[in-house]
Amino acid sequence: MTFKLGLTGSIGMGKSTTAQMFVEEGCALWDADAAVHRLYAAGGAAVGPIAAVFPDAIEEGAVSRRRLKEIISNDQGALQVLEMIVHPLVARDRQEFIDNCTAEICVFDIPLLYETGNDQMMDAVACVTISPELQRERVLSRGTMTLAQFEAIRDKQLPDAIKRERANYVIETDTLEHAREQVQSVLADIRKKISHA
């Protein structure tokens, strides 16, 4: 039996880095963002359906995230339409991963885990966290978004305090060493539960 661990956390909290630590400890990983990239790439399952509704979003046979962003910012209903196309495809991609996963523990890196109700299908949830100051500093140091863009994304996500409260495990990502120690203790606890199941 495979144990399904949901991994979530707000923007800039260190989720992707933590996900890789789980992989290094022998877990299989399904990454929601990577799944969307696969779907949007040339030949991806989302290209045709998106092209049918938003032909301007297609560039060289793939979905252009930049063009999609422009469409969404100019059309209030566009995001809802897009989600109706993409969410079922992402769910199918995730199910295929579950069906083929042979690892003892499968980790699901899903930024909007609680917001989409996907926590219901997990055996446990781990939430990454850091202070709001460090979060802001990390995001802005990437140089890919403005403070206003960061705040808009953060404000759409469930507050960090609520995520931590609902999670089975909380991983503080203040340093790589500290995060790795916590990943190892989460896995030790899960493996203990599996052996007693």
pLDDT tens digits for 138-195? 999 998 889 988 888 888 889 999 999 999 999 999 999 999 999 999 999 999 999 8
> Residue 98 — φ and ψ, nearest 5°?
-60, -45
* Contact present, 9 and 17 (Cβ < 8 Å): no
Q: Specify the DSSP class assigned to residue 157.
A: S
Residue with tokens 């705040």: 151
Please report, as a single letter, which amino acid is at residue 59.
Answer: E
Residues 6+ apart with CB under 8 A from 13: 128, 129, 130, 135, 160, 173
What's the CATH code, domain 3-100+111-188?
A: 3.40.50.300
Average pLDDT over residues 27-31: 97
Sheet of strand 105-109: strand arrangement: 28-31, 105-109, 3-8, 124-129, 169-172
* Contact present, 41 and 48 (Cβ < 8 Å): no
Provide the pLDDT for residue 152: 85
The mean predicted confidence, pLDDT, of the chain is 94
Provide the pLDDT for residue 109: 96
pLDDT digit string (tens) for 64-73?
Answer: 999 998 998 8
90 — pLDDT class (breaks 50, 70, 90): very high
Domain boundaries, the chain: 3-100+111-188
CA dihedral 9, 33, 7, 194 (to 10 degrees): 180
Based on C-alpha coordinates, what's the Rg of the chain?
Answer: 18
Q: How far apart are CA 190 and CA 192, in angstroms?
A: 5
Q: How far apart are CA 65 and CA 105, in angstroms?
A: 32
Provide the pLDDT for residue 138: 92
DSSP conformation letters of 6-30: EEE--TTSSHHHHHHHHHHTT-EEE
Distances (CA, A) of 179 to 19, 36, 44: 11, 26, 34
